């Protein structure tokens, strides 16, 4: 161990008020590096949190790797001195492990519970010198030493656990979510992937002939600027809906694409930015079986079929067609030999009470979570929900043969780490229940010639520590918007049935 150079005794006298942040296990599991995010303030890790990290580190899942990452960061501080004494952080603050807390009888905080100890630590630091006076603790307590060097401000419990925040507040302690990786304040600010642009009659008449019912037609940005009389500030692969008096034209903005132009009697491909037209569903007769039913689905399918877009996110309410559109795009592109196989990954999150141990091998255990995908594949194979109900087997894609030969595989997400997926169309379903770190591990599996599609409904987050903004799907959307290989569409309308739309809207 180094000669204690990070201990509080060697830290020079500091000026100004220092807030005290009490960090719990859920925060460290969600973002191990959060320890380093509190600038020149004081970070306190209750000893019970270390015990929870120790319990988590051997579980062999994503939580275990996060726990080990947090422990490694703390071990780095340990090499500079004793953690119970306080060690200086790179931001000019301090980090320490707290071994004692304040358990007032009137609050009936039962000892032995991790959350209660976190609150008790916060109460101790909130009382400060008053706690030292009441307890009779001598000069060896680190709190006394810190009070001699800093003026302490608010004491705040930082946790992803909703119940711990409520419990802290009930005991008169400030609490908050970990917000540093929160890219927007609310779900209303999330990137939708669609720009709705109101235009006048004259402008619409000039735009519409290029885009309306003319899939793949192109208007350059220079021409669009001349028509609109202004610049449009858009992200690459952003969908655009030009609207005028109840009418609309659909397009996808491309930052740079090769366009064939005639120069000196010869055609040359030159890079341009501009807008590609997208046919509306009612203007596009079905080629075979399932086709997009609304504008958002048509825009999503256009992006899904674009070979230049390698990572796509689709969010939307239940029944909006997220997974169905992704599967349809994958099947069509596999038919065109763009990909050798389709891999579908799902998390094994249950709704309601857990069923407990399931008998059988891996395939039998995971079978309940494959049912939704198999239902959708059956619909695609038969061409519509009606033919499935009637038992009319059309076999548009020969799904059974593709499943039997492993050209289509449905797998649990648990065993993805370490794989390299080349020439594969990858679909990860229900990603609203993944942490950002989980999806990072997933996306880094994508190999040469592959495309990955992440689908989910942020209204159906089932994790105690995630919400509509902090879940993995929302994190990916906000982090990757603006990248030329990324595209996103939010699907707001359910096409499953009138009942599904009613339930998604009102229940």
| Count of the separate structural domains present in the chain | 2
Shared-domain flag, residues 157 and 213: no
Q: What is the CATH number of the domain that holds 24?
A: 3.40.50.1010
Shared-domain flag, residues 193 and 171: no
484 exposure class (CB count in 10 Å sphere: 0-12, 13-18, 19+) = middle
**Residue 3 forms part of a structural domain:** no
251 exposure class (CB count in 10 Å sphere: 0-12, 13-18, 19+) = buried
Shared-domain flag, residues 163 and 197: no
Phi, psi at 354, each rounded to 5°: -70, 145
Shared-domain flag, residues 440 and 383: yes
Q: Identify the DSSP state of 45.
A: E
Q: pLDDT tens track of the chain, all 507 residues? A: 333 333 333 334 445 789 999 999 999 998 899 999 998 999 999 999 999 999 988 775 568 888 999 999 999 999 999 999 899 998 889 999 999 999 998 888 888 899 999 999 999 999 988 888 887 766 557 888 888 888 899 999 999 998 999 999 999 999 999 988 788 888 899 999 999 999 999 999 988 877 765 667 888 899 999 999 999 999 999 999 999 999 999 999 999 877 776 667 777 777 889 999 998 886 544 555 688 999 999 999 999 999 999 999 999 998 899 999 999 999 999 999 999 999 999 876 544 445 455 555 556 565 667 888 988 998 888 876 555 555 556 677 889 899 899 999 988 877 677 789 999 999 999 999 888 888 998 999 999 999 999 999 999 998 878 889 999 999 999 999 999 999 999 999 888 777 766 666 776
Side-chain-side CA neighbours of residue 227 (13 Å):
22
Six-digit token string for 450? 């592959």
Contact 325, 316 (CB under 8 A): no
Shared-domain flag, residues 345 and 262: yes
Segments in 336-471 forming alpha helices (H) = 362-382, 385-390, 399-404, 436-443
Query: Which residues on neighbouring strands pair with residue 18, listed in sequence order?
Result: 152
**Residue 429 forms part of a structural domain:** yes
**Residue 388 forms part of a structural domain:** yes
**Residue 490 forms part of a structural domain:** yes
Shared-domain flag, residues 170 and 193: no
**Residue 181 forms part of a structural domain:** no
Shared-domain flag, residues 325 and 253: yes
Contact 463, 436 (CB under 8 A): no
**Residue 182 forms part of a structural domain:** no
**Residue 305 forms part of a structural domain:** yes
Shared-domain flag, residues 137 and 228: no
Shared-domain flag, residues 489 and 466: yes
Phi, psi at 15, each rounded to 5°: -115, 155
Contact 210, 219 (CB under 8 A): yes
**Residue 2 forms part of a structural domain:** no
Shared-domain flag, residues 194 and 171: no
**pTM for the model:** 0.82
Identify the domain containing residue 258 by its residue range. Answer: 189-506
Shared-domain flag, residues 447 and 319: yes
């Amino acid at each position: 161990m180094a000669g204690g150079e990070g201990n509080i005794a060697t830290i020079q006298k500091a000026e100004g008020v220092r807030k005290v942040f009490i960090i719990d296990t859920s925060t460290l599991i969600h973002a191990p590096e959060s320890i380093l995010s509190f600038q020149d303030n004081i970070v306190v890790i209750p000893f019970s949190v270390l015990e929870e990290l120790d319990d988590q580190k051997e579980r062999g899942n994503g939580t275990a790797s996060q726990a080990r990452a947090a422990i490694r960061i703390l071990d780095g501080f340990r090499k500079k001195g004793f953690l119970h004494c306080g060690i200086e952080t790179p931001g000019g603050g301090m980090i320490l492990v707290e071994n004692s807390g304040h358990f007032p009888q009137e609050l009936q905080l039962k000892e032995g519970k991790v959350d209660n100890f976190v609150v008790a630590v916060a109460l101790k630091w909130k009382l400060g010198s008053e706690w030292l006076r009441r307890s009779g603790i001598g000069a060896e307590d680190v709190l006394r030493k810190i009070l001699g060097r800093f003026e302490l401000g608010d004491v705040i419990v930082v946790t992803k656990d909703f119940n711990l925040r409520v419990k802290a507040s009930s005991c008169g302690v400030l609490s908050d979510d970990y917000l540093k990786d929160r890219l927007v304040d609310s779900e209303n600010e999330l990137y939708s992937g669609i720009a709705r642009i109101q235009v006048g009659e004259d402008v619409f008449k000039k735009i519409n002939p290029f885009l309306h019912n003319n899939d793949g037609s192109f208007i350059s940005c220079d021409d669009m600027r001349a028509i609109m009389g202004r610049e449009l500030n858009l992200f690459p692969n952003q969908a655009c809906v030009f609207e005028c008096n109840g009418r609309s034209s659909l397009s996808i903005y491309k930052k740079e694409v090769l366009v064939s132009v005639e120069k000196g009697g010869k055609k040359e491909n030159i890079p341009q930015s501009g807008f590609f037209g997208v046919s509306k569903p009612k203007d596009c007769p079905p080629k075979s079986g399932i086709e997009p039913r609304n504008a958002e689905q048509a825009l999503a399918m256009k992006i899904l079929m674009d070979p230049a877009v390698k990572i796509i996110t689709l969010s939307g309410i239940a029944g909006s067609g997220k997974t169905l559109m992704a599967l349809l795009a994958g099947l069509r592109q596999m038919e065109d030999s763009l990909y050798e196989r389709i891999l579908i990954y799902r998390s094994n999150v249950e709704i309601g009470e857990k069923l407990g141990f399931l008998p059988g091998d891996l395939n039998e255990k995971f079978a309940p979570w494959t049912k939704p995908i198999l239902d959708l594949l059956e619909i695609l194979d038969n061409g519509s929900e009606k033919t499935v109900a009637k038992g009319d087997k059309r076999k548009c894609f020969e799904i059974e043969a593709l499943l039997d030969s492993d050209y289509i595989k449905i797998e649990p997400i648990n065993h993805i780490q370490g794989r390299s997926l080349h020439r594969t169309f990858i679909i990860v379903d229900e990603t609203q229940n993944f942490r950002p770190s989980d999806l990072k591990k997933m996306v880094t599996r994508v190999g040469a010639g592959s495309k990955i599609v992440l689908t989910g409904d942020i209204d159906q987050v089932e994790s105690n520590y995630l919400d509509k903004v902090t879940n993995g799907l929302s994190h990916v959307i906000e982090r990757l918007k603006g990248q030329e290989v990324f595209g996103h569409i939010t699907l707001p309308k359910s096409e499953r049935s009138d009942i599904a739309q009613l339930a998604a809207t009102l229940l």
